Amino acid sequence: MLLSCATGSEQFLGSEAIATYATAKAVILPIPYEATTTYRKGCETGPAAVITASQQLEAYDEELKRETCLEVGIYTHDAIADTRQQPQLSAEEMLAVTTATVSRLIADDKFVVAVGGEHAITTGVVQAYRQALSEPFTVVQIDAHGDMRFEYEGSHHNHACVMRRVLEMGLPTLPVGIRAICREEAELIAKQQIPVIWDRDIARDPDWIEKAIAKISTEKVFLTIDVDGIDPALIPGVGTPEPGGLSWHQTLGFLRRLFQTHQVIGCDVMELAPISDSVVSEFTTAKLIYKLIGYQFIA
């Protein structure tokens, strides 16, 4: 099946970074789907804002001492499951097209960075890896919220339920930065002994990164980042900005160590909801995505 590349103005890092699908090692997959956000809305515009902001990034990474995009090759796929164009798109339709698209990218040995869009999308992304791999993997979740409700507002595919769907796939999880859960989630965490890395512990324990890494029981991991897991002073453009959160350097320190110690099979970055007259949220998110690609191939 022919995969479609975004034009230069819609290309992560801009037209100078365009790679062919055949030569690219990393693929940015925009998924501007939004249907169940419950507070501040607008995450369906997140992927486009991130791509626009990315064109202001320096190609040279001062930490890695490389021009990551030139060494790796980053291909930007056309958007899928776009509720800006298809406002009536159902969750089931979104999940089906997401799983099918990611499955094709996996088959072509691409490192996928899915960019949302609401966190419910992650179910479809993870399902593609679950189908492709015979061995188990851990889903590492950076997030302010547990997202482990069985259902919310009448939907099993609400963004507040995504990690419950992941658990139902039989996959272990490592939630990091959590600072808001409901009673149902607290009981599930206790019952299933889910190894949560609480935000309060991150703030108090200088050794939290090594302790978190030690809790991952599989060699392979999938990384899902809800950007509200990061301090809202850095990324205020989210649906529900919880006080606290990981600092920039805490985030990068954890991610670099994760990529060093485990095989990261793919990742997604979700829930950016741009704020009018401010670019800090999308610019920071774009830089985070660029760091993920650098850590995967260069660090």
Q: Is residue 46 part of a domain?
A: yes
pLDDT in tens, 224-260: 999 999 999 999 999 999 999 999 999 999 999 999 9
pLDDT in tens, 48-84: 999 999 999 999 999 999 999 999 999 999 999 999 9
Q: Is residue 260 part of a domain?
A: yes
pLDDT in tens, 110-124: 999 999 999 999 999
Q: Is residue 1 part of a domain?
A: no
pLDDT at residue 45 above 60? yes
Q: Is 143 annotated as a binding residue?
A: yes
Q: What single-letter DSSP state applies at residue 6?
A: P
Structural domain tally of the chain? 1
Residue 1 — very low, low, confident or very high, per pLDDT cuts 50/70/90? very low
Residues of the domain holding 183: 8-297
Q: What is the mean pLDDT of residues 114-137?
A: 98
Q: Is residue 2 part of a domain?
A: no
Q: Is residue 218 part of a domain?
A: yes
Q: Is 205 annotated as a binding residue?
A: no
pLDDT at residue 155 above 90? no
291 closest CA partner among 85, 98, 110, 60: 60
pTM of the prediction?
0.96
Q: How far apart are CA 196 and CA 203, in angstroms?
A: 14
Q: Is 75 helix (H, G, I), strand (E, B) or coil?
A: strand
Mean pLDDT across the chain:
95
Q: Is residue 50 part of a domain?
A: yes
Q: What pLDDT score was predicted for residue 17? A: 66
Cβ contact 56:283 at 8 Å: yes
Q: Is 108 annotated as a binding residue?
A: no
Query: For residue 199, what is the domain's CATH number?
Result: 3.40.800.10
What residues pair up with 266 in beta bridges, in sequence order?
222
